[in-house]
A and B are shown apart, each in its own frame.
Chain A
Amino acid sequence: MRKPVARPTQQKQAETPVELRAPRAFTPPKDTGPIETFTETEFDVPIANPPRRKRHWLLRILAATFGILVSLALGLAAEALIRDLFDRYEWLGWAGLAVLGVFVLAVIVFIGREVRAVARLRKLDALRTRADKILESDKGSDGKHLVAELTSLYRQRADLARPRTQLEKDMRGLFDGADMINTAETNLMAPLDAKARALTSAAARRVAIVTAISPRALVDIAFVAYESFKLARAVAELYGVRPGLFGSWRLTGEILGHLAVTGGVALGDSVVQQLLGHGLAAKVSARLGEGLVNGLMTVRVGIAAMRVTRPLPFKALKQPLVMDFMADLAKIGTNETK
């Protein structure tokens, strides 16, 4: 290969007639190979992810310095406290020190658990993204890895013992990533989905009843918030994360984000809600109408929680719709133990 070289041209000689060159053909000096083309496989189709919110750098400095100051103050206070205790009586100082040690240990364990919970929540997210990719690429080795991770995630779950063995058996005859993911979904996710649905519809029924009989609007708002929070945690726990304090915070954020995004999408469902809330049910009783609307709201929280915490995307199995819970909600008032 020769490098490109540039040299100044010689001054043009004036008045030389320009000679036009005739077309000629030569054998190429060397084998040039095929002409490079742009093939489709060169694209790695990125899967769209919502961009993470980044804080402004100034804000981050603010938060960081504030955190350091508070920690310093706390440390100073603790140190002063222990010193004071030692000044009073020596044994009191030792006791205080011991209590402080236990406290610090507890804080560390607590933080460790929180970190783990958030990490697991992230892991579920990552698993889902990877499963999406594998469904696209159909790579067998990737599928095998993912299914192995999934089974290890549920290794300690007694209720999934049978699906796990079945999945293991099924995996032996499979070679393609997409088939593996689908099989894992039909085996492992189906029982969990059923339980998540039951949790959701129970929560929705409770909300509907409480709203229908509560004396104050504030009470049912509080109850909806409480039930939704509880439901989200229960669903997350079902799919493999015990969210903890910060995990719950994160989870709530994700669910709210999800609801905001899908709010406009589920048009058919919203129409049902409108009809029920302001029309039909309201004609029977205004309180009952409100109760149903709140119940449906809870259902949507449950579905959003499923979507956010389920480690596999809905592919082989259908994602539940708000409509599917209508029948359950209609049962309020009848005796369910029958």
Chain B
Amino acid sequence: MARSPTNLVDEAGIALGNLTDAASGMFTPTLRLGVTGLSRAGKTIFITALIHNLLTQARMPAFAPMAEGRLIGAQLAEHPDKAIPRFAYEQHLEALTGSEPFWPESTRRISQIRLSLKYQSADWLGGMFGPSQLNLDIVDYPGEWLLDLPLLSLSFREWSDQALARAERPGAQNEAKPFLDALAKIDTSAEAREPDAETLASAFTLYLRDCRQDGKALSTLPPGRFLLPGDMEGSPALTFAPLHAPEGQVRKQSLYAMLERRFEAYKDVVVRPFFRDHFARLDRQIVLVDTLRALNAGSEAVADLETALTDILACFRAGSPNPIIRLVAKRIDRILFAATKADHLHHSSHDRLETILNRLLANAARRARFAGAETRSVALASIRATSEDVIEENGEELNTIIGTPQKGERLGDQTYDGKTEIALFPGDLPQDPDDAFGDTPINLNFLRFLPPQQYAKSEDGAIILPHIRLGRALDFLLGDRLK
């Protein structure tokens, strides 16, 4: 049976936090939006685009409060939690819109931001008191850390078994060999020695790093802090590795026992606070999935992505509780599954992309719906980097996208220099989503494109970030709270 990711003390803290929220939110309610996604799924870009579009009142016809003219404005507000850095919206925007635009670097630390939205309520009760206000809290964090959440309900032995089974898969041979060799040399029931632990941990870290490269693009690679340690690098809680369970009694001084203690410490010191502070009290959730990268790498990566996401999403609390229970026990009542980077495909393929996403997240979605949450899926591009065209090739009409591939991207034997603009036909997505999981290789090649090189400006001089279905996503996530 799966254990709960939290203990009793955590639960008390969460309930207390919810009560405080309810009390302070009497007049200005707060909506916590959980932006969930593994690394490179596009969390930072999504948050930046969301903030920018709301701040500049960009026209989003599909976002009802804006289309109906009820959204009066948005403003960045100070976050009540002073211990965590603010999301660097300005820097990210600068990176995207500077003279040489580039995608912001992958997130290395946690940050958060609060956005105050002012709107005119449409119903007569809400409209009576003039404009209402809603605070939107968003957290940005390295996607790698999300991989840790499933660990909370695993013991050292269970985790070791899973991790070693993954390392011993035939597909992972090249990457896992150094680690498995090192593991074979060390006697785990012998007296614990720090150098042994360090050797194992660094070999394991290397193996995880290699698996993440584009060729493999594997996702189920916990613990996440091994990939991105932040300021905890080298600390004992980060110096462990999966071990084969020894036969018989485990001595307290053995290496096995020591690493087991460290694993537990990792959970207590790193994972649980992260979960408790940022994910246990969410109202809405958007799950960003970089489906294209996994499809690029093949069916193994897709299946692996499915496992990772299903495990992670099991940790979140979905459901629609009644408003009284809500005071102490918050539940996520709307979850949006988004296949990001939809601009790397022609829009006629978006339907198929959504189908694949639905297949990928079928288990997670079913569980969420059973709990009472509303789910929807959408092919999304927070910032649209390409335009579309049709070209004729050997008498066949191909729906292509036009953009500038990043430096070093390859198609066939051509490597791009980051300056040439091309029209790309990335291949047809499979009509039957199961083909993406099967053994038959699918001939697809999605290239990574640079951000748009120039932007249109609105009447009041604000930069317009083009997007695909961002308005629709916002309408699902926020629309009903701005009624």
Interface string of B347-367 (1 = CB under 8 A from A): 100100000000000000000
**Min CB gap A42→B, angstroms:** 15
CA–CA, A175 and B343, complex, Å: 12
Given A182-B67, A316-B67, check contact A175 B59 (CB 8 Å): no
B215 at the interface (CB under 8 A from A): no
A170 at the interface (CB under 8 A from B): yes
Give the one of B60, B64, B67, B472 with max A CB within 10 A: B67
| Residues of chain A lying within 8 A (CB to CB) of residue B64 | 182, 316
Which of A140, A169, A176 makes the CB contact (< 8 A) with B62? A176
CA–CA, A173 and B68, complex, Å: 17
Closest to A317 in B: B68
Closest to A172 in B: B466
Q: Check A174–B62 contact: CB distance below 8 A.
A: yes
**Min CB gap B471→A, angstroms:** 8
Q: Check B347–A179 contact: CB distance below 8 A.
A: no
CA–CA, A174 and B378, complex, Å: 13
Q: Check B347–A173 contact: CB distance below 8 A.
A: no
Which of B59, B60, B467, B472 makes the CB contact (< 8 A) with A176? B472
CA–CA, A174 and B475, complex, Å: 14
- Interface hits, B454-483 → A, CB 8 Å: 466-469, 471-472
Given A183-B67, A186-B68, check contact A174 B350 (CB 8 Å): no
CA–CA, A173 and B464, complex, Å: 12
Q: Check B67–A186 contact: CB distance below 8 A.
A: yes
Given A183-B61, A183-B62, check contact A175 B67 (CB 8 Å): no
**Min CB gap B466→A, angstroms:** 7
**Min CB gap A163→B, angstroms:** 12
| Residues of chain B lying within 8 A (CB to CB) of residue A170 | 59, 61
**Min CB gap B147→A, angstroms:** 32
> Is chain A's interface secondary structure helix, strand, loop, or mixed overall?
helix
Q: Check B61–A175 contact: CB distance below 8 A.
A: no
CA–CA, A189 and B61, complex, Å: 15
| Residues of chain B lying within 8 A (CB to CB) of residue A186 | 61, 67-68
Interface string of A179-198 (1 = CB under 8 A from B): 10011001000000000000
Q: Check B68–A175 contact: CB distance below 8 A.
A: no
| Residues of chain A lying within 8 A (CB to CB) of residue B467 | 173
| Residues of chain B lying within 8 A (CB to CB) of residue A176 | 62, 469, 472
- Interface hits, B127-146 → A, CB 8 Å: none
**Min CB gap B199→A, angstroms:** 50
CA–CA, A169 and B468, complex, Å: 15
CA–CA, A169 and B464, complex, Å: 13
Closest to B466 in A: A173
| Residues of chain A lying within 8 A (CB to CB) of residue B67 | 182-183, 186, 316
Which of A169, A175, A182, A316 makes the CB contact (< 8 A) with B347? A175
| Residues of chain B lying within 8 A (CB to CB) of residue A140 | 347
Q: Check B59–A179 contact: CB distance below 8 A.
A: no
Interface string of B261-287 (1 = CB under 8 A from A): 000000000000000000000000000
| Residues of chain A lying within 8 A (CB to CB) of residue B350 | 175
Closest to A190 in B: B68
Which of B62, B466, B469 makes the CB contact (< 8 A) with A182? B62
Give the one of B60, B62, B469 with max A CB within 10 A: B62
- Interface hits, B50-68 → A, CB 8 Å: 59-62, 64, 67-68
| Residues of chain B lying within 8 A (CB to CB) of residue A182 | 61-62, 64, 67
Closest to B468 in A: A175
Interface string of B410-424 (1 = CB under 8 A from A): 000000000000000
Interface string of A149-191 (1 = CB under 8 A from B): 0000000000000000000011001111001001100100000
CA–CA, A169 and B61, complex, Å: 10
| Residues of chain A lying within 8 A (CB to CB) of residue B347 | 140, 175
**Min CB gap A39→B, angstroms:** 12
| Residues of chain B lying within 8 A (CB to CB) of residue A174 | 61-62
CA–CA, A179 and B347, complex, Å: 15
- Interface hits, A178-223 → B, CB 8 Å: 179, 182-183, 186
Q: Check A179–B468 contact: CB distance below 8 A.
A: no
CA–CA, A176 and B476, complex, Å: 14
**Min CB gap B67→A, angstroms:** 5
Closest to B472 in A: A179
| Residues of chain B lying within 8 A (CB to CB) of residue A175 | 347, 350, 468-469
Closest to A138 in B: B351
CA–CA, A173 and B342, complex, Å: 13
| Residues of chain B lying within 8 A (CB to CB) of residue A173 | 60-61, 466-468, 471
**Min CB gap A318→B, angstroms:** 9
CA–CA, A174 and B60, complex, Å: 9
Closest to B122 in A: A318
CA–CA, A316 and B66, complex, Å: 12
CA–CA, A140 and B61, complex, Å: 15
**Min CB gap B469→A, angstroms:** 6
Q: Check B62–A179 contact: CB distance below 8 A.
A: yes
**Min CB gap A171→B, angstroms:** 8
Residues of A within 8 A of B (CB): 140, 169-170, 173-176, 179, 182-183, 186, 316
Residues of B within 8 A of A (CB): 59-62, 64, 67-68, 347, 350, 466-469, 471-472
Question: Across chains A and B, which 10 residue pairs bring their CB atoms closest together, nearest first?
Answer: A183-B61, A170-B61, A179-B62, A175-B347, A186-B67, A179-B472, A174-B61, A175-B468, A175-B469, A186-B68
17 contacts between A and B (CB under 8 A): A170-B61, A173-B467, A173-B471, A174-B61, A175-B350, A175-B468, A175-B469, A176-B62, A179-B61, A179-B62, A182-B64, A182-B67, A183-B61, A183-B62, A183-B67, A186-B61, A316-B68
> A179-B472, A186-B68 provided; 11 other pairs, C-beta below 8 A?
A173-B61, A173-B467, A173-B468, A174-B61, A174-B62, A175-B469, A176-B62, A176-B472, A179-B61, A183-B61, A316-B67
